[in-house]
Amino acid sequence: MNPTAIRWMIYLAGIGATGLEIAQFGTWDSANMTFDLYPFRVDDAVRSAVSGGGNALAMVAIWRGWGARK
């Protein structure tokens, strides 16, 4: 497998774990180097994903200048 692709997958996994920890769906134990995922309700997970996705899309829209008056 391409080493660059492996590195990207590791980075994306770290970003995903950080997002889960920020959303309080899990915790990172740096002493054991493990990520513990808490039991969660699916509707809470979907609500957090939709909220985060909407905020990310709004950030992209501002960055790209979508909707700006010309």
The answer to whether 50 touches 39, Cβ cutoff 8 Å, is no
- Say which residue the tokens 């309700």 belong to: 41
Pick from 40, 47, 46, 10: nearest CA to 24:
40
* Per-residue confidence (pLDDT) for residue 63, from 0 to 100: 85
Instruction: For residue 37, give every residue at least 6 positions away whose Cβ sits within 8 Å of its Cβ, in sequence order, or none.
Output: 20, 25, 26
Contact indicator for 12, 25 with CB cutoff of 8 Å: no
Reading the chain (70 residues) residue by residue, the pLDDT tens digits are 788 888 888 888 888 888 777 777 788 787 887 888 888 788 887 888 888 888 888 888 888 888 766 6
- What's the pTM? 0.49
